[in-house]
Amino acid sequence: MVRGQDTKAQVGTARTRGRPRSFDRATALHKALMAFWEHGYEATSVSDLTRIMGIGAPSLYAAFSDKRTLFEEVVRVYVDTHGAFGDRALAQEPTARGGVERMLREAAAEYTDPAHPYGCLVVHAATNCTSPEVEQLLRERRNANIAAVESRIEADVAAGLLPAGTDAAALARHTAAMIQGMSQQARDGASRAELEALAEIAMAIWPRS
């Protein structure tokens, strides 16, 4: 091989070595979701993320900008997948009562599923969080869930499916308190059956039409 060809081959090898490693973005995002779900936002460091996602810090920043932006995307994915059962129940059941009962029952199943971390990411990720932006993001998501339940209850009151004196706001907050409590109970080792029993008790306070 002549010197010119040898030099050209060396340059090509150097370029190959210096090229950032490609990765599957969706797979990396899923791994980040699992990490934040398991450990929370604050306790999951960038070095944890690069190790778990199998990418270098430059690739993480190039693909997701920074840790907080990555987390915001993770929350959106979670809400559209693992966390979608609540909105689905409210939309598909014919009454608010039926929707909430199904929501609590499905929460018992979802929060104790061994295929992923226990509990709810939107609830657990806020633990010991010192980022005001992240706290606000999660607070707004939880409040949006309460508002959706309250709106559904109000619609049933207007339709005569619930008594006129029903306190829609209080009932919606009670539902949210149950959901959040079930999440923590699941993290503490409660079984699906135990959470289903809790959900049944929670529904006992609902007014009848």
Instruction: Check residue 128 and give its pLDDT.
Output: 84
Residues 172-201: b if buried by 16+ CB within 10 A, e if exposed: bebbbebbbebbbbbbeebebeebbebbee
Taking alpha carbons only, the member of 110, 99, 86, 75 closest to residue 183 is 110
Taking alpha carbons only, the member of 112, 113, 175, 181 closest to residue 147 is 175
Instruction: Check residue 21 and give its pLDDT.
Output: 52
Spatial contact of 164 and 77, defined as CB atoms under 8 Å apart:
no
**CA 200, CA 105: separation in Å to the nearest integer?**
8
**CA 67, CA 61: separation in Å to the nearest integer?**
8
Low-confidence ranges of the chain (pLDDT < 70): 1-22
Query: Structure pTM?
Result: 0.85
User: What's CA 99's distance to the chain center, in Å?
Assistant: 20
Residue 94 is encoded by which pair of tokens?
Answer: 């014919």
Walk me through the domains of the chain, giving residue ranges and CATH numbers: 25-65 (1.10.10.60), 82-205 (1.10.357.10)
